[in-house]
């Protein structure tokens, strides 16, 4: 396992799914874990189970003020932020462009894309000063392929993928490691929501084909190691059998 002992990781969308599993795994490996989500009660319960190295902060990632305060609080508690995992994302509202609710569409963009910018913007100055840091963003195959009724999701994930490339371009020389992870379809609540929609081929997939949330969590941990440096500035796909073998989830 990657050694993250004593390092501080901020995980957005940490109340369930990939975020929750990652929080528990990083904590098990000795990291200080800062759980961010809008559902304060849930993340406080998870942080309590983690113990003294867990910190729950209610945060709407689409709000720069919220994110800035969360990073300040994490820094005051643990000294610095070493790793940021941009995981927060929403799939609703699943709708065709012609019938989409404009406000709901824009909110999804704010969470999935502006939330990634806010996280990067808040941690980068201190990381640049320290000349070290890792920023990982959970991407999707939807970033690269149009999927019916997912205009908000595909567009925001495509933007987030470009944000990873931009962050690498601008900050690699400062010692900052930036990468994206496309996990494939994962057995989470989001997949249940997709299934319920009944729209597009993804909703028709058999539940047994989805990978467990532990797999992307383990991959994110591995991405914090030098073994993944060949992918800096790029997007790692968990559909790749070579990657699964390297991570140990094959």
Helix pair angle (115-130, 151-171), 10° resolution: 10
Structure token pair of residue 219: 């991959």
DSSP of the chain, one letter per residue? ----TT-EEEEESTTSHHHHHHHHHHHHTT-EEEEEES-HHHHHHHHHHH-TTEEEEE--TT-HHHHHHHHHHHHHHHS---EEEE--------B-GGG--HHHHHHHHIIIIIHHHHHHHHHHHHHHHHT-EEEEEE--GGGTS--TTBHHHHHHHHHHHHHHHHHHHHHGGGTEEEEEEE--SBSSHHHHHHHHH--TGGGGS-GGGSBPTHHHHHHHHHTTSGGGGGGTTSEEETT-HHHHHHHT--
Report, as residue numbers or ranges, the catalytic residues: 139, 153, 157
């Amino acid at each position: 396992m990657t050694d993250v002992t004593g390092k501080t990781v901020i995980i957005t969308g940490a109340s369930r799914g990939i975020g929750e599993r990652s929080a528990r795994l990083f904590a098990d490996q000795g990291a200080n874990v800062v759980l961010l989500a809008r559902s304060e009660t849930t993340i406080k319960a998870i942080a309590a189970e983690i113990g003294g190295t867990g910190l729950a902060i209610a945060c709407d990632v689409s709000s720069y003020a919220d994110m800035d305060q969360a990073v300040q609080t994490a820094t005051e508690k643990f000294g610095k932020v070493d790793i940021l995992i941009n995981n927060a994302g929403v799939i609703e509202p699943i709708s065709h462009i012609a019938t989409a609710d404009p406000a709901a569409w824009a909110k999804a963009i704010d969470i999935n894309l502006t939330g990634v910018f806010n996280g990067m913007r808040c941690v980068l100055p201190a990381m640049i000063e320290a000349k070290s840091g890792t920023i990982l963003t959970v991407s999707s195959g939807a970033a690269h392929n149009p999927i019916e009724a997912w205009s908000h999701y595909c567009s925001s994930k495509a933007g987030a993928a470009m944000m990873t490339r931009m962050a690498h371009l601008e900050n690699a020389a400062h010692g900052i490691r930036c990468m994206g992870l496309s996990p494939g379809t994962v057995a989470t609540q989001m997949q249940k929501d997709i299934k319920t929609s009944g729209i597009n081929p993804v909703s028709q997939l058999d539940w047994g084909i989805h990978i467990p949330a532990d797999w992307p969590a383990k991959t994110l941990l591995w991405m914090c190691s030098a073994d993944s440096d060949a992918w800096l500035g790029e997007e790692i796909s968990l559909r790749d059998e070579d990657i699964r073998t390297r991570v140990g989830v094959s």
